[in-house]
Amino acid sequence: MKCRNINEIRHEKCVGCTACINACPKHCIKMKMDEEGFLYPIINDNECINCGVCYKSCPTVSVRKQKKLPIILGMINHSMKIRKNSSSGGIFFNLAEWIIESGGCVCAATIDEKMYVKHIIIEDTDRIDQLTKSKYVQSDLGNCYSLIRKHLEQGREVLFVGTPCQVYGLRTFLNKEYNNLFLVDLVCHGVPSPKIWSEFVENIEEQRNSKCDSISFRNKTLEGWKNFGMEIKFSNGEIYIDTQKQNPFMFGFLKGYIDRKCCYSCQFKGMNRCSDLTIGDFWTVDEYLDNFNDNKGTSLVYVNTIKGKNMINQIRNDFYIRRVNERKFEIINNAYEQCSLNIKSRDKFFKRYIHGRKAVEFLNTEMRRSNYE
């Protein structure tokens, strides 16, 4: 009898997490970029043995709602240096430091020398800075799930940080509980196309006639934490800094033009999570906590499990922490519960992009029109 496989997962449901390719016993599934610039799994039917493992590993077919309401915290790192090098309140750095100093390893997203966003595994505290700050591009997980399983089976503690669907993908790939696995997902707005990101980088390198050396999506120096911008350092020594309203890529991301299609009907919002902690920006902090916002970044933390509570206890002495007594926790940061809603704008953008319209040109036009209005 033929088992179900990932060919049955509709294109608009696939999250690109790589659980299926890591789970396949015959290694006959590869990730291939589509015309929108997103990676999707492709089965080599000549090598497939119809075992059904890929389908069972897919997070989209096994979504469950967590049973208990989360504890809500506002957190600010005591270290101004760590906050400066973080997108928000600086919680990730201390979690990573704790795991590594305990002999474990950390898997999270980085930007490599080619400005490609991907997940890597680190085992040295000197490398934590490579993984800090937000990256508003879908990251390539490669074989990280398989490597994580090896570390877990060796008894090492592992901290994995990713989007809710990536965290769920790891859990379904592993298909068992590990006491030494610590899962952190993000209050996710959606994941933009790696191809659109690459074209944005190429465009700005052409404008500056220099290669990008480093990029920060969440620079706080111009107008602070809430009105962040992008900072790009070039090989020729130049530094480019803007605000959200000046950057076509960030405009496309925040307005929902360039996200993966599954993000517009995300199955992993709200309490449909399997993480120990959910972290994000406490944009509405002034509405809930007095004197807890200096415009340098405050983290919003959803403590989902007992393990998550223990994680916070391990680092609590390094933070200012305030509890939020709010039953309607979904509205504290709208992206916790809400999906990218601008599906018509997305369809408009990709229809024109696929037919040859340059992404940056289109987004610049839409951005100017939006700012004018």
Mean pLDDT computed over every residue of the chain: 94
pLDDT in tens, 104-131: 999 999 999 999 999 999 999 999 999 9
**pLDDT mean over 286-305:** 95
**pLDDT mean over 352-373:** 88
**pLDDT mean over 235-251:** 91
In sequence order, what are the residues at sequence separation of 6 or more whose Cβ sits closer than 8 angstroms to the Cβ of residue 276?
A: 182, 183, 184, 303, 304, 305, 307, 308, 311
pLDDT in tens, 132-182: 999 999 999 999 999 999 999 999 999 999 999 999 999 999 999 999 999
Is the pLDDT at 202 greater than 80? The verdict is yes
> CA–CA separation, 292 vs 300, rounded Å?
12
Provide the pLDDT for residue 335. 94
Q: How confident is the model at residue 372 (pLDDT cuts 50, 70, 90)?
A: low
pTM, rounded to two decimals: 0.96
**pLDDT mean over 325-330:** 84
Provide the pLDDT for residue 1. 53
**pLDDT mean over 6-32:** 96
Enter the tokens of residue 201: 């980088």
